[in-house]
Amino acid sequence: MDDTGRLIQETVHMAERLVTDRERRHRLARRHAIAPAHRVTTPEEATVAMTVLHATEAPSIYLSVAARTDATVQDVDRALYDDRSLVRQLAMRRTLFVFPRDLLPAAWGSAAARVAEAERRRIARNVEEDGRAADGFAWLDTRRDEIEVLLREHGALSAQKIREALPELDVKVATSATSRWGGPTPVAPRVLNLLGASAVLARGPNAGIWRANRPTWTLMDDWLGTDPEPLPSRDGYPELVRRWLRTFGPGTETDLVWWLGSTKAAARVTLTDVAAVEVDLEGGGTGWLLPDDLEPEPPVDPWAALLPGLDPTTMGWKQRDFYLDPEHTAYLFDTAGNGGTTVWWDGRIVGCWVQDPDGVVVPVLREDVGADGDAAIAAEAERLTRWLDGQVIRSVYASAQMKRARLP
């Protein structure tokens, strides 16, 4: 046994109780604020409930909030762009999330820093291999300094405006000298994403409608009104994991490695740091809970919800059998593990939803949910149709079931 395995064996307890699949579904209904009786009020509360929201596709942010609150598009824009209480940040798994502002320092010093370090090495190597510079790291430092000067002088700018102002950034470099998939690609988006992960830059006001991801870029200290102060990695990872366990616990080691984008060793050390407690899961697995979160979860009455693609409830675990029939996976997730739209009944995914040309939301079920389930799902579809008000959502992560069910 390696030192990490021995450490975790010495610092956790024997499983104190069994957490059934049904109890796990009760926990997500209440803690994720998706059961109608347990919705929250503001975009900030919805985001805190989920730890973070997925932001790869702009509509996901707004629809994830809408599923958990009665907030409007304007309410979400206020949180993102006026109050800046919610901030887009590239972090776990090289994925863009919306973070509550107070959680940013934990990410900056841990998951985001890990992404930034890896991407910095890749870009530097690509620049050198492409013959752009003898020292790729020095090339990157120069581009960073130029971008900082530009944004300090002009304020938030689109990626296109930044490229136009800085010709050395408006180039293509090969991403691999050997792979046939490593042909020349624009380097500017990669550099901007690197500086975003590094907390040098922030994604500022959106240059398009809320359904389109067209950010401007600005300096993080200007955006937040304060200099970024990352937590040390030894403090950042535990804070992320505490929040994740509060939202998604009990989670397995596999779940945590998936969500955090870390190694097993790092996940085990962090579980030890937060004094996570072993619990037995239905079916024989081992899950983890925070030591102050071991009380049984009270039952929740049956409920329905319609969630967008990439919603954090859909995506929060790697091992999903307690809320997803494995036979549905290929229809509702792509091969990379990205979930499309989902319909939920009583804590389980039972289908997806699409829209007709007029924007009416249409549930597409993969199993019989009974009369009560049909009625509750229809009510949620009507609610989402009213919220969307005729706007049709497009997604590059449409699942096989969504594509099959698209209406003429």
Q: Where are the domains of the chain?
A: 111-224, 304-405
Instruction: Label the pairing between strands 277-281 and 18-19.
Output: parallel
Cβ–Cβ under 8 Å, residues 87 and 350: no
143 CB neighbour count, 10 Å cutoff: 22
Task: List b or e across 38-72, with b for residues whose CB sees 16 or more CB atoms inside 10 angstroms.
Answer: ebbebbbbbbbbbbbbbbbbbbbbbbbbbbbbebe
Please report where in the chains the tokens 């919220």 appear, as a residue. Answer: 387
* Stated pTM of the model: 0.93
CATH code that applies to domain 111-224: 1.10.10.10
Cα end-to-end distance, the chain, whole Å? 58
Helix (H) or strand (E) holding 306: strand 304-307
Q: What is the pLDDT of residue 349?
A: 98
Q: What is the pLDDT of residue 2?
A: 53
Q: What is the pLDDT of residue 177?
A: 59
Q: What is the pLDDT of residue 14?
A: 46
Please name the residue ranges forming H helices in 92-211. 104-108, 111-129, 136-154, 159-165, 188-197
Cβ–Cβ under 8 Å, residues 115 and 190: no
Q: Can you give the pLDDT of all 408 residues of the chain as single tens digits?
A: 455 454 444 444 445 689 999 999 999 999 999 999 999 999 999 999 999 999 999 999 999 999 999 999 999 999 999 999 999 999 999 999 999 999 999 999 999 999 999 999 999 999 999 999 999 999 999 999 999 999 999 999 999 999 999 999 999 998 875 555 567 899 999 999 999 999 999 999 998 899 998 999 999 999 999 988 999 999 999 999 999 999 999 999 999 999 999 999 999 999 999 999 999 999 889 999 999 999 999 999 999 999 999 999 999 999 999 999 999 999 999 888 899 999 999 999 999 999 999 999 999 999 999 999 999 999 999 999 999 999 999 999 999 999 988 654
Q: What is the pLDDT of residue 6?
A: 45
375's CB contacts (< 8 A; 6+ apart) are none
Residue 64: C-alpha distances to residues 19, 185, 210, 340 (Å): 27, 32, 13, 13
CA atoms lying within 13 Å on the CB side of residue 333: 19
Beta bridge partners of 281: 19
Cβ–Cβ under 8 Å, residues 383 and 375: no
DSSP letter string, 189-247: HHHHHHHHHTTSEEEEEESS-TTS--EEEEEHHHHHTS---PPPHHHHHHHHHHHHHHH
DSSP character at residue 182: -
Q: What is the pLDDT of residue 164?
A: 97
Q: What is the pLDDT of residue 10?
A: 42
Q: What is the pLDDT of residue 8?
A: 46
| Interatomic CA distance for residues 347 and 376, integer angstroms | 13
| Interatomic CA distance for residues 354 and 306, integer angstroms | 10
Helix (H) or strand (E) holding 60: helix 58-68
Helix (H) or strand (E) holding 90: strand 86-90
